[in-house]
Amino acid sequence: MTVEIIEKHQSFGGQQIKYRHDSTTLKCEMTFSLFLPPETKTAMPLIWWLSGLTCTDDNFSQKGAFQAYAAKNRVAFVMPDTSPRGAVADSDDWDLGQGASFYLNATQEPWQTNYQMYDYLTQELPAIVYSLLPNFSGKESIMGHSMGGHGALMLGLKNPQRFSAISAFAPISNPMQVPWGKKAFTAYLGTATKTWKEWDATELLKTVGTKHAPILITQGTNDNFYEVQLNEQAFLAAADVADETINYRKEIGYDHSYYTIATFIEEHIAFHVSHLK
C-alpha cells in the first residue's frame, strides 16, 4: 500500500506529519496525522486520538496543544480522520455522514459500503501506523473528544487487551439515549435497538467488567451540550453496578471547545504515560 506524505512540520524536536492513502476497508482516499517525538533508542508507545463531529485529523494536531508533552514523554500520537471522505454517502445534516461516522461499522445502506470505521481503526490503519513508528513498544492507549470520546470509550472497552488506558473529553458516553446517538445509530444500524448495544459505552461497561483499562474523563461545567448529549449518570451508574471506579472530573467554567482540551491535555497524557510505561 502506498502512503503519501502531504505535509510535514517540526514541532518540539519531533515531527508532525500528515499522510494520505487509499483505504481498502472504506473504499476511498483517507488522511491521517502522526506526531513522532524526537528519536531515541527508547521504545515508543502510541496514543490514538479520535476527534468529534465535523472534525478532521487536523483539529487536534493544530489546536490540541499536545506536542510539547508528547515530545517530553517520548510518546507518538496518531489522529485518524472522523469518517470516510469523497464520493461516499453523505447527509445535509452536520451531525450525520461525512465527519460523523461514530466510529462504528454501518449495516444499513447507503452507509454500509463505506462506513466501516471500526474495522478501519482496528485492522487496516493500525498496520499502516505501526510500520511508520521507529522503535514501537507495542503499547497503545486511546483518547478522544465528544463523538471521539464515545469512540475512545467504545473501542477501548471492546478491545481490553489492546489498550492500556482510555480517556475522554466530554464524551457521548450513552449514545443510545441521546439525540446525536439515536440519529446516527438509526441511520447506520437500523431501528432494531438491540443491535446498538455493542457500540454504546454504557452498555459495554455492563458486560466488560474489570477487564477494561483505567478510564479518565474530563467534562466542563459550561459545556452547552452537556445536559442533553453528554450526561454521565447512566455511564457512572453502570460502573457502580460493575463495582468499577471511573476517574470522572468536572471542571468548573470549561466548555466544549479545544481551549478545554488544551488546558487539560497534559494531565491526560500523564495519565496515559503512567499506564503505557
Q: Which of 146, 164, 167, 173 is catalytic?
A: 146
Q: Which of 81, 90, 200, 223 is catalytic?
A: 223
Is 223 catalytic? The answer is: yes
Measured distance CA(68)–CA(51) in Å, rounded:
19
Instruction: State how far Cα 197 lies from the chain centre.
Output: 18
Q: Which of 150, 212, 256, 272 is catalytic?
A: 256
Is 256 catalytic? The answer is: yes
Contact 77, 15 (CB under 8 A): no
Instruction: Cite the active site residues.
Output: 146, 223, 256
